[in-house]
Amino acid sequence: MISGGAKLAQPSGLPMKTGSNKVLTRRGFLKASVVSCGAAAATEKFGRPLIRRAYAGAAASAIASTNLGKLRGGFAEGIYSFKGVHYGSSTAGARRFLPPEPPKPWKGLRDALQIGPPAPQDRSRLPSAGSGMPVPDLIGPGKMSEDCLVLNVWTPGLPAGNRPVMVWLHGGSYSIGSSGAPMYDGAHLAGKHDVVVVGINHRLNVLGFLYLGKIAGEKYADSGNVGMLDVVLALGWIRDNIAQFGGDPGNVTIFGQSGGGGKVGALMAMPAAKGLFHKAIVESGSELRVNASLEADQAARKFLAHIGLTRGRLNELVNMPMEQVVAHMHSMTDPDPMGAFGPVVDGHSLSRQPFDPDAPAVSANVPMIIGTTSTEMTNLLGHAHPELFSLSEAQMRSRLKSLPGLADDSRLDAVIGAYRKDLPTATPSDIYFAVATDQLVRMDAIRQAERKAMQGSAPAYMYLFSWRTPVWGGKLRSPHGIEIPFVFENLGEARDRIGTGADLRSVADKVSGAWVAFARTGDPNHSGIPRWPGYTPKDRATMILADHCDVVNDPQKDVRLVLGTLTES
Please identify every residue annotated as catalytic: 258, 376, 480
CA distances, 464 to each of 13, 77, 545 (Å): 25, 33, 6
Backbone angles phi, psi at 218, to 5 degrees: -60, -35
Query: In whole angstroms, what is the distance from residue 483 CA to residue 466 CA?
Result: 9
Distance of CA 446 to the CA centre of its chain: 17
Contact by Cβ (8 Å): 551, 544: yes
Cα 396-400-404 angle, rounded to 5 deg? 175
Contact by Cβ (8 Å): 462, 552: no
Radius of gyration from C-alpha coordinates of the chain:
22
Contact by Cβ (8 Å): 569, 7: yes
Identity of the amino acid at 336: D
Burial tier of 410 (Cβ tally within 10 Å: 0-12, 13-18, 19+): exposed
Strands of the sheet containing 63-65, edge to edge, are 63-65, 70-72, 109-111
CA distances, 373 to each of 282, 302, 346, 378, 543 (Å): 12, 35, 32, 11, 11
CA distances, 294 to each of 47, 160, 216, 264, 290 (Å): 53, 49, 14, 23, 11
Residues composing the chain:
569
Other CB atoms closer than 10 Å to residue 162's CB: what's the count?
11
Backbone angles phi, psi at 237, to 5 degrees: -60, -40
Identity of the amino acid at 324: Q
Closest C-alpha among 286, 122, 309 to residue 208: 122
Element (H, E) at 517: helix 504-521
- For residues 526-560, one letter each, b for 16 or more C-beta atoms within 10 angstroms of the residue's C-beta and e for the rest, the string is beebeebbbbbeeebbbbbbbeebebeeebbeebb
Query: In whole angstroms, what is the distance from residue 147 CA to residue 163 CA?
Result: 30
Contact by Cβ (8 Å): 478, 469: yes
Burial tier of 110 (Cβ tally within 10 Å: 0-12, 13-18, 19+): middle
Query: In whole angstroms, what is the distance from residue 500 CA to residue 263 CA?
Result: 32
Other CB atoms closer than 10 Å to residue 331's CB: what's the count?
10
